[in-house]
Structure 1
Amino acid sequence: MRPDTHTLETPLRVIPRDLHDVSRKQISPNALRVLYRLRESGFGAYLVGGAVRDLLVGGNPKDFDVATDATPEQVKQLFRNCRLIGRRFRLAHVVFGREIIEVATFRANIDDGSGDRETDDGGRLVRDNVYGTIEDDAVRRDFTANALYYTVEDFSVRDYTGGFEDVRNRLMRLIGDPETRYREDPVRMLRAVRLAAKLGFEIESATAAPIPVLAPLLAEAAPARLFEECLKLFLSGHAVESFLGLEHHGLLPALLPETAAALKSNRSGALRRMLLEGLRGTDVRVANDEPVSPAFLFALLLWPAYCRALMALQAQGVHAPEAQRRAADRVTVHQLEMIALPRRFSLPMQEIWLLQSRFSQRQRKRVFRLLAHPRFRAAFDFLKLRLAASDEHAADVAFWHEAQQQPGDELAAQLDGHDASYVDADTGQSEAPRKRRRRRRGPPGVSPT
């Protein structure tokens, strides 16, 4: 086993074709076109990063990135279907229909003044376009497993940082001093957890050690970037392991502070059971190539925070419907300070929460109104998830499951008997014919489960 501290002076290791599992048959034909054209034009060109790493562990990469000594402008001259993007990192995108091959010029760590690099007062890179050699490029990448280069010249894999052995040992190891690298880009802490979850790797001890201490630096990352990272963490088929990794390494309070606080205060563990059950279901849907919704995901991730805020408002005597609306708004606004959740997801997320209190209703008009609600299906799926926390919702789940199966006239006839006495989900009051309304003993809002 290699030592926990990584040296940048690891000698180049060339792994010949007969000692690795990367094959051209597994590589995108469009990526091969880019590699061959760059080489034919006199440039160095390598398949790099996640694609090489994933192929070495038997995975199926979705993206194929290329590294080269050609500048972005030179790449653009070679490919008519190329566009240049990025300010922080200048990149060339070679477009083949729906597939984009990203081509990056080798970058260097040391700026001799000829390049374009800028850092802020905290040491974070805000622009990094200093070009260098392949050796320079290797040591400035984040993890050793991502610093492997495959060449079509002789079909070998070139390793400048010891990444080949780390992949074999299933280790995520940062290149360079971990604290310095995390301060350059705090999102690397999330990437370490995400990649370890995806690949079934362990985060090497020196790489893991600074994470709990530096986790608050995530507050300095761009909220839009954290939103995208959350989608990668939880909607890529390894949501459960990602969540457990965030918990284990102390990142959950930094990324989802109110959820972390709610889970900590929920002594029964019911909210955590529900959350993990929902993430398992998400992983199953991804595995089955079924659609997944960011709105439903964040409804799940922030549900503990919503329940905690709701109970606090109800304890203050706020009327149930008003407490529900205020709790939903409060949790959403607070989370937006960290993660830029677009309104097209935050509004349906809130609807899923607010509809939960209506599943106890049985009045015919209200039942049919809820069944016709555009968010009914998502809200009902969410209600079923709550059974993982408590069986108190079993009767509601059974009723609404049956209601969806029945013809409208049969359901209406069945519900006629319920109209004489029902609980109004909006007011939280029981109604009976020709009798004045009376209040329930306790607030009827959404229970923690």
Structure 2
Amino acid sequence: MRTKTLDNPAALVATVIPRAEHTVSRNSMSENALKVLYRLHNSGYQAYLVGGCVRDVLLGKEPKDFDVTTNATPEQIKGLFRNCRLIGRRFRLAHIVFGREIIEVATFRGHHENNDEGESKVSKHSDHGQLLRDNVFGSIEEDAQRRDFTINAMYYNIADYSISDFAGGMQAIKDKSIRLIGDPETRYREDPVRMLRAVRFAAKLDMHISEESAEPIKRLAPLMANIPAARLFEEILKLLLSGQGLATYKLLAEFHLFEALFPQLAPLLLQPGSRENQFVEQVLTNTDNRINTGQRVTPAFIFAAFMWYPLEERCQQLMVEGGLNHFDAFNLALNDVMHRQIQRIMIPKRFSTAIREIWQLQNRLPKRYGRRAYQLLEHPKFRAAYDFLLLRGQIEGGDLLELADWWTVFQEADEAQRKTMLEVLREQQGAPARRPRRNRKKPKPKV
């Protein structure tokens, strides 16, 4: 099905697929999403499930989020639900809160009505074509044209359980193709994050980006610099913590998007097979395995890994150029590298603090004499720092791998074995034997 571009604002025409001809069922939907749909419908409003939840069910996947769209305005939605809160400045949304589950409800978006100067009264674009404000309401046909990809423009109607396919989404699913609705360059300029979304969907859904949608990405990748750093943090979590992080990373690198997100690391990845490349790919492989087996992961670990070699490089530069010792150079480099990365991706303090601790422990883990080994074991971030050290050792080998192996054994050893390991370590390193403590008599109090 050929879609019309945004340069020609005529509404798309839906292909209506009756209930008997598709696999989307109310059994696959959240009970809370159904409550929202039925209350809107019974109150006289149109109500549809739209986007990823419809797409995922058609692909045989279990949907995680349920997005609702309607012709009710945000204020009308709020009037129907006591558990509703309105959010957003760029486009007003309603969040219906059911404990930990939030059902997002959006009013149909419409086309812009420009004034004599060519600027919309209720929407605003930047000089690069980026959409800055977009509180424009419209019809379902207009809403479909405003959506990004054809696979996300399918609407499940709670009134008769049919699907309205406005842009050939069903065919795109069959073709395993990610296609933008409208002119790709215009849509990417409106919101450069759509380039990240194209990559994420391609990796997540095991699909490919269509030729016309892929062509502008490399040229427009620098537009990512216009995206607020706080917004990019949320996008990074979706990209790298979805269980397909390695595949996503490779697509980001292919389309020159990775360097816009991690400008300090990207130059170190130009040589295939380098330790930096091996490290990044191994971290993402391990993260994917943990996610896909139901284990917990933290964004701090990935960010720590992505900035580690830039940190080492900056540390060496400060030592050579500034004549600093390693301790001072390392701490200065840590602050420099973190500051530069936060300019691109705003890392919340709870994660940036953990990143710093993982890095600082890399310098403390080689120092194992006496009580230090026991103190390190009790550190809250020991396990993350040990995993980090182990990955470094597996990639770089040598003394680093021996150190990681020592900590692997030490963790599992009993108390007697640990004491033996520490004594052997002292002898190997030529450290002086510990002097026994002398019991000093307390002085008698003067009468």
TM-score of the two chains, using structure 1 as the length reference: 0.89
Report the number of matched residues.
426
CA distance 1:158–1:388, shift in 2 (3 Å): farther
Letter in 2 for 1:108: G
Aligned counterpart for 1:400 among listed residues 399, 407, 418: 407
Aligned counterpart for 2:94 among listed residues 86, 92, 95: 92
Aligned counterpart for 1:190 among listed residues 196, 212, 225: 196
**1-structure distance, mates of 2:112, 2:372:** 67
Corresponding residue for residue 49 of structure 1: 51
Work out whether 1:238 is the aligned partner of 2:240.
no
SS in structure 2 at match of 1:21? coil
Letter in 1 for 2:104: E
Supply the RMSD in Å over aligned alpha carbons: 2.4
Letter in 2 for 1:353: W
Superposition deviation, residue 107 in structure 1: 0.6
Letter in 2 for 1:295: A
Superposition deviation, residue 433 in structure 1: 7.7
Letter in 2 for 1:403: F
Work out whether 1:167 is the aligned partner of 2:173.
yes
SS in structure 2 at match of 1:87? coil
- Tell me if structure 1 keeps the 8 A contact 2:48–2:158: yes
Structure 2 portions without partners, runs of 5+: 435-447
**1-structure distance, mates of 2:113, 2:37:** 27
Superposition deviation, residue 23 in structure 1: 1.0
Q: Percent identity?
A: 48
Corresponding residue for residue 38 of structure 1: 40
Corresponding residue for residue 427 of structure 1: none
Corresponding residue for residue 382 of structure 2: 376
Work out whether 1:285 is the aligned partner of 2:320.
no
Corresponding residue for residue 442 of structure 2: none
Superposition deviation, residue 195 in structure 1: 1.5
Could you give the per-residue CA deviations for residues 12-56 of structure 1, whole angstroms, max 9, x where no partner exists? 211222322211100111111211221122111110011111111
CA distance 1:112–1:97, shift in 2 (3 Å): same
Work out whether 1:215 is the aligned partner of 2:221.
yes
- Tell me if structure 1 keeps the 8 A contact 2:279–2:391: yes
- Tell me if structure 1 keeps the 8 A contact 2:12–2:141: no
Letter in 1 for 2:168: G
Superposition deviation, residue 262 in structure 1: 1.5
- Tell me if structure 2 keeps the 8 A contact 1:144–1:163: yes
Aligned counterpart for 1:347 among listed residues 340, 344, 353: 353
Work out whether 1:308 is the aligned partner of 2:313.
yes
Letter in 2 for 1:54: D
Letter in 2 for 1:280: T
Mean Cα displacement is larger for which, 402-411 or 296-305?
402-411
Superposition deviation, residue 75 in structure 1: 1.2
SS in structure 1 at match of 2:110? coil
Residue pairs, 1:22-421, within 5 angstroms: 22-111=24-113, 116-264=122-270, 268-316=273-321, 317-392=323-398, 393-420=400-427
Corresponding residue for residue 440 of structure 2: none
- Tell me if structure 1 keeps the 8 A contact 2:112–2:123: no
**2-structure distance, mates of 1:5, 1:313:** 52
Superposition deviation, residue 253 in structure 1: 1.0
Residue pairs, 1:420-431, within 5 angstroms: 420=427, 422=429
Letter in 2 for 1:278: V
**2-structure distance, mates of 1:260, 1:321:** 26
Superposition deviation, residue 112 in structure 1: 5.9
**2-structure distance, mates of 1:219, 1:378:** 31
SS in structure 1 at match of 2:371? helix
Could you give the per-residue CA deviations for residues 382-412 of structure 1, whole angstroms, max 9, x where no partner exists? 1111244232233112210111112335412
Superposition deviation, residue 97 in structure 1: 1.9
**2-structure distance, mates of 1:87, 1:370:** 46
**1-structure distance, mates of 2:56, 2:407:** 44
Letter in 1 for 2:279: M
Letter in 2 for 1:165: Q
- Tell me if structure 2 keeps the 8 A contact 1:44–1:69: yes
- Tell me if structure 1 keeps the 8 A contact 2:87–2:93: yes
**2-structure distance, mates of 1:433, 1:103:** 70
TM-score of the two chains, using structure 2 as the length reference: 0.89
**1-structure distance, mates of 2:363, 2:356:** 12
CA distance 1:314–1:433, shift in 2 (3 Å): farther
CA distance 1:431–1:412, shift in 2 (3 Å): closer
CA distance 1:361–1:268, shift in 2 (3 Å): farther
**1-structure distance, mates of 2:16, 2:4:** 23
Structure 1 portions without partners, runs of 5+: 423-429, 435-449
- Tell me if structure 2 keeps the 8 A contact 1:4–1:205: no
